[in-house]
Structure 1
């Protein structure tokens, strides 16, 4: 009996030590380099890292919405894409990186999708490779894997993702809660990105801190892991209840080793998210680095309010748009 009690005590102590170890998150400030100070915009929209370029959008500018930058020196090489009703214009353009250094542009409020060759665009050559028309009702994100495979995200559906492969459509995935929510389209909007090397899909929500990773297996996707990092979120009688003083990830980027989310470190910054609005000085300074098993590895302070994130899945270099005191493009090695 004494031996049993001694072994039990050792087990309890080891378990306690193990739990304490897992809860210790590295927090540090990381040095950043300023790539460009010439981001003149009321509010930069998207930030995307392609194979050869950095793209940022100016959604409040009717002409030249997309800016193509040299990722090394920050030079603004080219501007294109206009807002309008013309055959090659968009009312609400959304951008996604496309294989072979191309750009996939789709319209949230019009049945229009165009693939641009960025190499041709920057050389002032005709850059349109493909133009299609397709109804995208309630679809908020399109992820092109290649010319024949796409993932569509519709937060209004119980299975919010659709994998389109060679003309076949397969619905998959789940919403963060099994209970039915009346306005799931609004409640479960967020960022969706695909890591081509790891063949995994990452989904984060804006309104509350939730992350999910789906793994590609041949021609299907399976939920690998999910993380709901709050106890103040629940569903009752079709209504979603959550702490409005906090938020989920403001942006998402995938590097070689990390899932990077733009989040506020509540241990050091208790800003009420309801007070932020368009006051960019109140944006979070920190990015959370998760491994692809959804373990929070470290929290990095970039030293300024951060609005957008971008990265390449080929390395661990992070790009961000921050406020210093105007909008700047910065980069750092994670």
Structure 2
């Protein structure tokens, strides 16, 4: 039986009431041990003793439910008060409730003994306001409330933990959505910039460019509400995006993609990760038809390795610095894994963690 099933059993109504009955019965046995009218031998467990325990359990269940209802009523009606005042009012109300319950139990106990067993010992203690009787009853009542308070506190603590975790996840998701929303204008406006230059050069290529741009942007919109996509899906998008790049740069950029077929389908990464890395490489490096920019993508262990030649431009135009920072933050929000950046004299390398299991993923 897994943890969820065990927890559901402990939280079930039958288990809760069964535990209350057991506790009340044990309290009744302790109470009888202090009542000298019950012989301290085997006869204690005969009819009168068990009848008393039954009466005690039934009365205790009613008292227990009453205390819970009173607590909830007080919480609702004192919600506008500060915490200290709310706690004080709750304690005072339960204290008064306990005194009333103690009096009623003494009366019921006395009548129970008279009607069923024609015994007047309990009635004499009750009518003379015996300190021992009332104090003993009240102490048992406080024990009940103490147990109930611990159970109530534990339940609220668990709920608080779950709410905190839910809010944390919602907060992470909100931050992640903001990062994803940055991709849309970042990708679109850069593509429009390319199209503006292309329109004057070749209307036919412009039309084809628009078709591929629509296909690529549809991917951005379709994956807008997904936090992860398969590597194969990302590669299909990268193929469309690379077409847009080749129209502008012709043979100035060369791609070399070598990824295990199994990894393509079981591996997951945040949407547009590879596209942003390719765009980053194109934007920040010099290249020409005679000296093309080589971009290589391969898998190595639990990473995708994206490598490009390093020939830094002196000035980078229209850069708003989203690429690597966006990818890094998205990985920080989704799990424990982090991207790795390695820069040598000739190469710029980014290692992208491949997410393959739910344990790697926190949203």
- Give the TM-score taking structure 1 as reference length: 0.24
- Give the TM-score taking structure 2 as reference length: 0.23
The answer to which structure, 1 or 2, has the higher relative contact order (CA under 8 A, 6+ apart) is 1
Structure with more strand by fraction: 1
Larger Rg computed on CA atoms: 2
Structure with more helix by fraction: 2
